[in-house]
Amino acid sequence: MATTTVVYSSNTAITMDLSGLASSSSFLSGRESTEIDNTGSTSKFLDAIVRGSFIVGTTPATTGGLKVFVWGSDTSLTTAALDVLDGADSTETFTATSLGATVMPASFTPVLAATSDIKYHVNSFSVARALGLSVLPKYWGIFVAHNMTAALKTDAGNTNAFSFNGIKYDIA
């Protein structure tokens, strides 16, 4: 009888520079990550668990927080953009009607103190589950926005501060 085992990939950085990211009261403006290609011979993951952190800037508003959104596509965004997303680490601004049609919310981390330079950890989440899918799409990525009034700290700690572990099943 075959035995199924869960296999996790090594931790892989998600390319995205949040250093100095400006606040967006509506969460429409933020930063997109470089797309993750799930079509390679060593990837083809069924799901991915994303985790990350961020460092707040000067006196952040305690009524704010950081939202992480995910997107998925059957086609590379370098070939066919998904609204304003082009698959490259860059700042982007959605319209009020396009945000919810393009990306799905995955995580929200509230700021708990109006203290500068505090590092917050984002709760881990499943990409497939956040997208409402049973498996990962061929291409995926994240979009991050915050509404803490002050920009995120300009610091190396906000560069590539998100990562993922891919999940596969081994049947032996």
**For the segment 35-60, what is each residue's pLDDT rounded down to a tens digit?**
999 998 788 999 999 999 999 999 99
CATH of the domain at 56: 2.60.120
Query: How many domains, the chain?
Result: 1
Q: What pLDDT sits at residue 144?
A: 97
More confident residue, 117 or 96: 117
Provide mean pLDDT across the span 93-121.
90
Contact between 55 and 94 under an 8 Å Cβ cutoff? The reply is: no
CA–CA gap between residue 168 and residue 145 (Å, rounded)? 30
Whether the predicted pLDDT of 63 surpasses 90: no
Residue range of the domain that includes 115 = 4-171
pLDDT tens digits, one per residue of 123-162: 999 999 999 999 999 999 999 999 999 999 999 999 999 9
Q: What pLDDT sits at residue 163?
A: 98
Provide mean pLDDT across the span 92-103.
85
Q: Could you write out the DSSP letters of every residue in 44-57?
A: --SEEEEEEEEE--
Q: What pLDDT sits at residue 100?
A: 79
